[in-house]
């Protein structure tokens, strides 16, 4: 039987009508270990803001090498949590950085930031930081 997270309403607001993440798929990646998934989500939530800041700073300084490193690191650390549009934005930022012309980087960064903001409520729930109860149903 497939296991899936039972998501309750987030006290900060309603959950998105269509979740971005496939919770049962994420759970399958950790062989059904809800605690492990919660921990991995928590680690990502704790680290991605600093990486976003590094990307933003690299763009502001026109530091192509710094942008490429930070975008690549975020892409790798995001693993299965990043939706396709966030991954595309990160790949584009890496390509922009490797090309050396950062003129389009602010626009792609804004899209990345927006996608991560859409993703954050689900990550908070999966990490157990949202204040909602979560359980596995069979």
Residue 67's pLDDT is what?
Answer: 97
**List of the chain residues with pLDDT < 70:** 1-19, 130-138
Strand partners, 17: none
Can you give the pLDDT at residue 9? 34
CB 105 within 8 A of CB 96: yes
- What pLDDT, on a 0 to 100 scale, did the predictor assign at position 70? 97
- Global pTM value: 0.77
Among 52, 120, 130, smallest CA distance to 82 is for: 120
**For position 48, what pLDDT does the model report?**
95
- Are residues 89 and 115 in contact, defined by beta-carbon separation less than 8 angstroms? yes
pLDDT at residue 128 in the model? 84
User: Can you read off the two tokens belonging to residue 10?
Assistant: 């987030």
Q: Which residue's entry shows tokens 């975008």?
A: 71
């Amino acid at each position: 039987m497939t296991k899936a997270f039972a998501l309750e309403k987030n006290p900060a607001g309603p959950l998105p009508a269509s979740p971005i993440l496939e919770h049962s798929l994420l759970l399958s990646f950790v062989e059904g270990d809800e605690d492990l998934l919660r921990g991995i989500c928590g680690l990502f939530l704790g680290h991605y803001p600093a990486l976003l800041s590094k990307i933003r700073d690299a763009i502001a300084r026109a530091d192509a090498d710094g942008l490429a490193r930070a975008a690549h690191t975020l892409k790798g650390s995001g693993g299965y949590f990043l939706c396709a549009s966030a991954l595309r934005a990160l790949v584009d930022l890496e390509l922009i950085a490797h090309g050396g012309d950062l003129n389009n980087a602010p626009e792609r960064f804004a899209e990345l930031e927006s996608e991560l903001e859409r993703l954050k409520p689900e990550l908070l729930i999966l990490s157990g930081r949202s204040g909602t109860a979560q359980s596995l149903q069979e």
